[in-house]
Structure 1
């Protein structure tokens, strides 16, 4: 099972509303747990001895209403574009420890500029900007683990 299939599985579980899904296949065991907060998703990935595929889904928990942010803050952030992590891994702001940062807050970026690197399974993936604009906020610390679809940067396209 490759990273793209795992990402699709995570999206499917998040949309389904299941609180926990366990998947065991020939060479891997994946457990995906979601909380009442949509930003909370835990994924456990481990190799296992060969077995027959099994899928279990836990009962769906009742949806809890999510508290909304204050209206002024929402209006302020409505013009900002959020750049999210396309994969699970470790977030790095520079290509190597002795090199400069890819981007800083306040820096103007163009579409296709490299914003960061995310290391996943010993592979270093350059994350490129899909929009042009000005970096308003960097939401993740250097060398921190990130989840799939986790917000990384806020960009003002104007």
Structure 2
């Protein structure tokens, strides 16, 4: 039976070689190792070693996680621009109901407590308020669009 240290040695050897796959059978043990290639937006290529598993033994995992860069904030040239972002994952709605007028449109003036849209999450309608007094200069999200936490919904020019 293979020992954990022997399996780790095989994983390291596979990682450092140009071989992409290794299979080994010994008595009641079958070991299969495969490399996976992950690509990133930053044009880096990172190789990840697939988890190693053996029959009749506890799984052993050695894996390099791809490095990720934090998402860049929207570039704001004008310091008076405030981006209203989604506080949760959900569905963006510009109006309280399908047949109603939108809460705001580009060019509308809003206060700090003005509801500018709603985000539906788990059948709950969550009102989103403007974070500043000003004018709506851009509505980024589309009505009915699935939005992520922190995703820009609209841009307000502070007054």
| Structure 1 residues 96 and 63: alpha-carbon distance in aligned structure 2, compared to 1, 3 A threshold | closer
Task: Provide Cα deviations, 1:90-113, integer angstroms capped at 9, x if missing partner.
Answer: 000000112111000011100110
Q: Which has the higher contact order (CA 8 A, sep 6+)?
A: 1
**1:88 pairs with 2:89:** yes
C-alpha distance in 2, partners of 1:76/1:153?
15
Using the size of structure 2 for normalisation, the TM-score is 0.55
Alignment of 1:24-103 (within 5 A): 59-63=64-68, 76-103=77-104
C-alpha RMSD over aligned residues: 2.9
| Structure 1 residues 149 and 59: alpha-carbon distance in aligned structure 2, compared to 1, 3 A threshold | farther
| Residues 81, 154 of structure 1: 8 Å contact kept | yes
Using the size of structure 1 for normalisation, the TM-score is 0.55
Q: Which structure 1 segments of 5+ residues have no match?
A: 1-34, 38-57
* Structure (1 or 2) with the greater helix fraction: 1
Larger Rg, first or second structure (1 or 2): 2
Q: CA deviation at 1:64?
A: 5.8
**1:111 paired residue number:** 112
Give the match's secondary structure for 1:154. Answer: strand
| Structure 1 residues 97 and 62: alpha-carbon distance in aligned structure 2, compared to 1, 3 A threshold | closer
| Structure 1 residues 122 and 80: alpha-carbon distance in aligned structure 2, compared to 1, 3 A threshold | same
| Structure 1 residues 63 and 107: alpha-carbon distance in aligned structure 2, compared to 1, 3 A threshold | same
| Structure 1 residues 65 and 98: alpha-carbon distance in aligned structure 2, compared to 1, 3 A threshold | closer
